[in-house]
Structure 1
Amino acid sequence: MIRVLALAAMALLLAAPTADAQGRRPRSISEEVDRCPEPSNMGLMLCAAEAFDREDVRLNRVYRAALGRLKPAQQATLRAEQRRWIKERDTSCADWYDEAQNGRQGPIHGQVCAAELTRDRADELERMARPRRPR
């Protein structure tokens, strides 16, 4: 029980991206994880997992917004494209998770890979969901 509470507390501490001494946010998930306050493998994995979870929530939010701006036929196209993208993301990052090939930090790199690709896709969908300005 104490261990569960300790992990939950650590997850809360690591939940938000940390700013550097100048107050700048990290430019990449990798940079964010490098700034993780707990530099152990467990701490880095928690930071990477939190970054992925945050970007995944954001992706789902902007995906729904993008769907809402489309006609039914376009929605079907975006759904199919999104399913393909998820498979490609998972395939692209899968090799990182192999500890035998990449060592004990392989799973951390796998999480970072998935988080960065998810962030990039959310950025793309966010641009798609923005209302267009009349010319």
Structure 2
Amino acid sequence: MSAVTGEFRLAAVFDRVDPVTGPAFAPGRARLPEGTERDALAAYLKGGAAVLITPLLVDDVVDPARTGVVPMGFRTDGEWIWTETVGYYLEEHGIAPEPGLLAHLRSKEGAASAVPGAERLEQAVAFVLAPTERPVWRVNANG
């Protein structure tokens, strides 16, 4: 059980979002080669407690031929919240999670993802479902 309290850190997936072309990774985004570390990080991400489960699958922005394959659920270890999208791009394309989450994952040194207690999991659900003051994706209404 996690002893962590306070705000969660929400992992960003993409480096930029264009209102016309959609989300994308920066050309310089860190990549991780296939191997033990990448496998361990992916396992940690998959092992996080489910916060929000959805059957929604979206298209792969790296390989547009792969449609309806990227999962959109949310997971947590009690400290960070990430979408399953983060794990997908790590596993399928070697795209590293954002630097803060990557450092957090590496600090766990291959340990299994922590399962937060019921109260912390309820806090994670509330965090994900809470209305925000600003939209995450903004589109120019004037087109």
Whichever of the two has the greater Rg, that structure is 1
Relative to total residues, which structure has the larger helix share, 1 or 2? Answer: 1
Structure whose residues are more often strand by fraction: 2
TM-score bracket for this pair, using the shorter chain length? under 0.3
User: TM-score scaled by structure 2?
Assistant: 0.24
TM score, norm. by length of structure 1: 0.25
